[in-house]
Structure 1
């Protein structure tokens, strides 16, 4: 691990947090329920979900915080990765469904006779993992190429990303498109032959998520610390000046946009077996806006900030929706307003400011 990627205190914090997170499934397996050191299966699943959200927030920060591209459609890439993995999990059920058919229950119910062409070969795990990467990546590349080539940016770019997400959500809600309609994919039973509800399988999924989150953080940090990262920040700060000195921003923006979509798709794929469902509501514009709020609350343009924001906001959401289920959206809006007005650099920026004030005192 290169010390140049993060400061020494940041490395210490990352290592400590990684070890603490890795300890949770160990405590779940090692101690029986009722023991003072036991961590519930619910807590392990909840933190695993938070890590998937953190990975999505990290991917968004790469394009928004460092390149100045505000996307309101990253929920689409998250969901596409989830659907690609979800179909493998549906096919892994075999004939254990309600209708005991080789087809998923929703297809039998809707009188499908065979899999559509786009779900061919999805009984192969590695083929589906390739889809997790390729489907969001190719869509982002094609969309980004035409958008960036046309010099669409700012609020106009944000609006068309949200429109694209909304259009796909409407498509996936249809029962005749082979994506499960309103209910989506659920009732997963096995992954690679292992029973998903087993505590050991859940712990493995959790640890894989943790490792990929850490790997994504290191990859993104390496990118933004390199010459490429300096060019991306120049795109954010003054794209016209960058063009004046001979750079073509198109390919830099397209690279980071596509990479961000791929990371988001991987996060969605990790999310599905741990939560147990994927449906079109994951593509709702509100979900993409929440990702923006996670990055803003934690501190955009810092990579660590969005991870902190994803954990903080979703932890607050878990408590708030249980205590005041009808008021969460109002609280979320208020939180975003307060952060924008009083903590423009987010939680991480506030911590840095307090530390500088203490050192100056």
Structure 2
């Protein structure tokens, strides 16, 4: 039991870091931010799922995917399809030519619900598909690439191309996907209005809980024998292969796990924000997610979360203050971090925490305090 907890929490230091992150997200931010800003923070937390998946995939496995937005978007679309069907009951859509189907289908003269929308009438089946569909696609991509030993920059370019193809496909099939506008006007979850302020708070806390669980899952994988093999494959892939391990199988597995974690973030994004569009599936959001992981530290699960929050808060602040310059400011932030802090925020913390020992500082403070009190007496 102790060994299991150490793997999930990462030992004493890992447990402390996770506890601090939980306190920041559960207590400090909700007390400090108003409901509008907290809702924005909830959106940023959904991006952190992708950053955590990239630490597992890129930081430890050496597999740079520039298409994680694919799986984030698929998870979001699965949840959006369920919510849209619930909002498209015959009573609410009675003014349509064909009541009971989503409005964008009616606008495109589709007279019956497509067969692939049918499973999303059930919430339990939708939750399964949120995990299954992105994982299955990741398996197909991984099997096709890794079994043929496609890796490095070639794999990154291919994932970019797949993200572009999928976003174009979603936009082109407007009658089935909502097109460029995406799936909007999402109102309730099993009759519960997700647009209220109370709902935003509840969804935020659910979001944070799922993120903490995802971090623990990723940490368990990293600290296991499988995680050691990932690091070995990242540094000396041929040596691992000559040792008798099928490198491709391990790569496929970690790629599938990363896709599943990203999909959970996408589903929570839909619930938190209330829509899903193809703009979250393409190349740009995928690259932004890589930047978040790099800023936080691609070897640190906790650092990746802080990096995601920092980048997105900076993006919001820059766009509000300097709407014409914020892209340049964000680019400058990324370049500065890569040049001066190549290991991200986590690397900065590791570097300076060695010279700053809190326990010794407190002991010195207590000793001086006792001495001063003695002098006063």
Question: TM-score w.r.t. structure 2 length?
Answer: 0.88
Question: What is the Cα-based RMSD across aligned positions, in Å?
Answer: 1.9
Quick one: distance in 1 between partners of 2:176 and 2:225? 44
Which stretches of structure 1, 4 residues or longer, exceed 3 Å deviation after superposition? Answer: 23-27, 97-100
Selected match of 1:11 from 4, 12, 15: 15
Selected match of 1:89 from 83, 93, 96: 83
Give the structure 2 partner of residue 32 of structure 1: none
Quick one: distance in 1 between partners of 2:29 and 2:284? 31
1:269 deviates by 0.3
Pick closer, same or farther for the CA change 1:251–1:16 going to 2, 3 Å.
same
Contact 2:166–2:282 (8 Å) recurs in 1: no
Quick one: distance in 2 between partners of 1:333 and 1:242? 37
Selected match of 1:2 from 5, 22, 26: 5
Structure 1: where are the runs of 5+ without partners?
28-36
Counterparts of 1:68-107 in structure 2 under 5 Å? 68-93=62-87, 94=89, 95-96=91-92, 99=95, 101-107=99-105
Give the structure 2 partner of residue 265 of structure 1: 263
**For residues 246-301 of structure 1, what are the alpha-carbon distances to aligned partners after superposition, in whole Å with 9 as ceiling and x for unaligned?**
11101111100001001111110000021111111111211100111011100111
Contact 1:189–1:196 (8 Å) recurs in 2: yes
Q: Which has the larger share of helix? A: 2
1:187 deviates by 0.8
Pick closer, same or farther for the CA change 1:239–1:98 going to 2, 3 Å.
farther
Contact 2:54–2:298 (8 Å) recurs in 1: no
Question: TM-score w.r.t. structure 1 length?
Answer: 0.92
- Alignment partner of 1:121: what SS? helix
Pick closer, same or farther for the CA change 1:98–1:210 going to 2, 3 Å.
farther
Quick one: distance in 2 between partners of 1:355 and 1:7? 17
Give the structure 1 partner of residue 115 of structure 2: 117
Contact 1:171–1:177 (8 Å) recurs in 2: no
Give the structure 2 partner of residue 42 of structure 1: 36
Contact 2:26–2:205 (8 Å) recurs in 1: yes
1:98 deviates by 8.7
How many pairs are equivalent? 350
Counterparts of 1:183-262 in structure 2 under 5 Å? 183-262=181-260
**For residues 162-206 of structure 1, what are the alpha-carbon distances to aligned partners after superposition, in whole Å with 9 as ceiling and x for unaligned?**
000000000000144500001111111100220111223222211
Residues 330-339 or 52-61, more deviating: 330-339
Give the structure 2 partner of residue 308 of structure 1: 306
**For residues 18-64 of structure 1, what are the alpha-carbon distances to aligned partners after superposition, in whole Å with 9 as ceiling and x for unaligned?**
1342237975xxxxxxxxx7x42212211111111111110111110
- Structure number with greater Rg is 2
Quick one: distance in 2 between partners of 1:176 and 1:14? 43
Residues 135-144 or 116-125, more deviating: 116-125
Counterparts of 1:162-201 in structure 2 under 5 Å? 162-176=160-174, 178-201=176-199
